Amino acid sequence: MKKIILSLAGLFIMAMAPQVLSAQTYVFEKAIALPGDGGYDYLSIDKVNNRLYVSHGTAVNVIDLSTDAPVGVIEGSGMKGVHGIAIVNKSNRGFISDGKANAVVAFDLKTLKIIATIPVDAKGPDGIIYDPYSDRVFCFNGDSNNSSVVDPNTLKQVGTVALGGAPEFAVADGKGKIYNNLEDKNSMNVIDTKTLKVVKNYPLAPCGGPTGIALDGKNGRIFTVCRENKGMSVVNINTGKVITTVPIGAGVDAVIYDEAHKLIFVSNGDATTTIIKQESADKYSVIQTLATKNRAKTMAFDAKTRKIYLSVPDFEPGTRKALPNSFKVLVYKPQ
């Protein structure tokens, strides 16, 4: 009887295996070649207009997500070093952080034309997000330890948030709070978007060098990824307690949470993307180490198709020197 039960159990596992793999495994689909050379950083998706924005040196490449084809470039003589892109559909505008020009560049989401260059009283604009609760754009300045606040309607800087450390990625909860990693302090700030004050600061130990951040608002959890200890820390946003740390790859930059399918994607510079399953609010397991490309560390996720997009050029073997005309966006899809 025991052998029969074991045999039946084995048949059940074999029957279920294809379904499990299908739900959990990502595979390479294509590469989208993009013109020009230069550095690269954040990617951002405009869900309303179904476009992917890719930072690329002194310009932003734009891809139509319905065809995965390039449809335009945002560029201008005043743009010196693009980092992030924030989307504000309410005002039909996008905002680009220009780290070398110490400015935020506003553009029209329909025409892709630049409409204003907004100087900020800070150095090194890097990450940039839109907070719908306050209807403000927050630009995080790595060299000034602060955030410049821009009104997307008047196209003016309207405030500054002192952060107490060097900011990395940030995420808004839509209810008046922004969570922002401080890379040099190994901690996370909680920002009140109305008062423009840091109201809490949570230490993230054992996390070292936090970069990317994602939010599970339903369960009150933050996912913050850390370079020094190669881990993803799960943080209770109400208490600041680090609940668990999940191993990831080296050279991490971005993290994305797919709420619908309870998956977390972590893009690493060591040519991997770690895919983690959220089994419950406090339980997580790595289900795939997806092979990508060396230094493909920034990422975007299309919730409609469930595809992930990573930007990267090819590099000379054993160096950090990018090969000319090799920049591309890598596309991975669920199998």
- Locate the domains of the chain by residue range: 27-38+210-335, 76-203
Look at residue 141 and tell me whether its pLDDT is greater than 60.
yes
Instruction: Please report the pLDDT score of residue 24 as a whole number.
Output: 59
Give me the residue label for tokens 């719908």.
Answer: 132
Confidence of residue 318 (pLDDT cuts 50, 70, 90): confident
pLDDT tens column, 22-32: 445 999 999 99
Confidence of residue 77 (pLDDT cuts 50, 70, 90): confident
Q: Which of 35-39, 54-58, 124-128, 229-233 has the lowest mean pLDDT?
A: 35-39
Identical topology for domains 27-38+210-335 and 76-203: yes
Mean pLDDT of 213-226: 98
240 pLDDT above the threshold of 50: yes
- CA dihedral (226, 200, 161, 220) in degrees, to 10, reads 60
CATH number of the 27-38+210-335 domain: 2.130.10.10
Buried b (16+ CB within 10 A) or exposed e, 47-79: eeeebbbbbbbbbbbbbebeebebeeebbeeeb
Q: Read off the pTM.
A: 0.92
Phi, psi of 206 (to 5 degrees): -85, 10
- Best CA proximity match to 330, nearest among 28, 27, 67: 28
Q: For domain 76-203, which architecture applies? A: 7 Propeller (2.130)
pLDDT, greater one: 19 or 85: 85
Q: How many residues does the chain have?
A: 335
